[in-house]
Structure 1
Amino acid sequence: MAFLAGSLTLTFLRIDQTINVAISKFSAAGAGLIFQSFVLIFWVFYFGAEEDSLVKRSINGFTIPRTPAAQGGASNGVAHGVVTPQQQHQQLNSVVVAPTAEYAYKARALYSYEANPEDRNELSFAKGEIMDIVDNKGKWWQARKQDGSIGIAPSNYLQLI
């Protein structure tokens, strides 16, 4: 907030210096700085507001909520556009597993892992098991076990070989 306030002050000073000059390119720069000041004021309100405040809820109200139908999945009996916080959390944390992906890496399981029964994408594995990995970026890697089963596995349980 301190940086935003400081940059807003400097922007106002620069607007005053550029807008009162007879040269057209300085006037254009002043107009751009006026626009920038509006953006900075918006940021002050948004980042300075409490998480459950009227300001934050109003600004976040302009976003489009994720619904199962909008993501190409079934609505599971939920009316379109109505998503519970639990469903929204599950949608944001879901990972799409691509069965035809190219597996570029191999990894060994450092520990055993039991998949969460509520997440059908997770993969259970035993310590020492060797798996093929699609990509080694992120906290969850898409893996294929030797038996052909595909899913995601926590990266901190695996070591590339």
Structure 2
Amino acid sequence: MAAHIDPALVLAQPFFVCSLVLFGIGWFITFIAACIIGSAVRLIWVDLFYNLFLLLGTALAVSTDSVRQYRLVILTFTAGSLSLLFTQIDLAINASSVFGYGASKFSAAGAGLIFQALALLFWVVYFGAEEDSLAKRSINGFTVPRTHNDNANNNTIVSPTQQYQQPHYDNQSPVAANATVVPMSGANGAAVGGAAPEYAYKAKALYSYEANPEDRNELGFSKGEILDIVDNKGKWWQARKQDGTIGIAPSNYLQLI
């Protein structure tokens, strides 16, 4: 089955989009400078074509949700590109003393190379970090909230995983606060009792989520799985899997489609 290109998967990750823009600007500046320099520094052209391939390939992997399959490939090519970039940056910085003329065009090439290197250094963390790591989730835009003690000036940092895997319960109710009430489910996952809710939305899982075994209302799912959603308000959404299993799911693991 051919991979489906979905630009929304790229746009849903703002920090990655920023790195793509920075990489693209740096590549364009270097390309213009290389056209002016000509064949004086031929290795710049090798770096340009290499990085163009890396830029397009990485964007394609993200837009087809194939990063997990090509993660090591991306990291390997990124390491090779960084090696080339650092070599070219050193040549560009020392170009005025080597060539004795046209130092401004080498400075422009060096600036473009530095932009590309900064973007790739970010990619080392972005693609190298594990999916469940704090660094990866923070890069994806999930901030680390703080809970404040009203009686003391004491702040405790709570990770997104802790925030969503340990929801607050009101009056010992088994349903998480601010979540839509989920009907009880039978052995086959079908709702029993009361009218069946209307699933007006669909969402794609950005990450895998393992439900709390002590809370039968939580719904576990795998990355890339498509869920039906009743309401998209609050931190917990009432969801239904393709096999009919229903439950509540953390909204920061899901993206509406």
TM-score, normalisation: structure 1: 0.44
* More helix per residue: 2
TM-score, normalisation: structure 2: 0.28
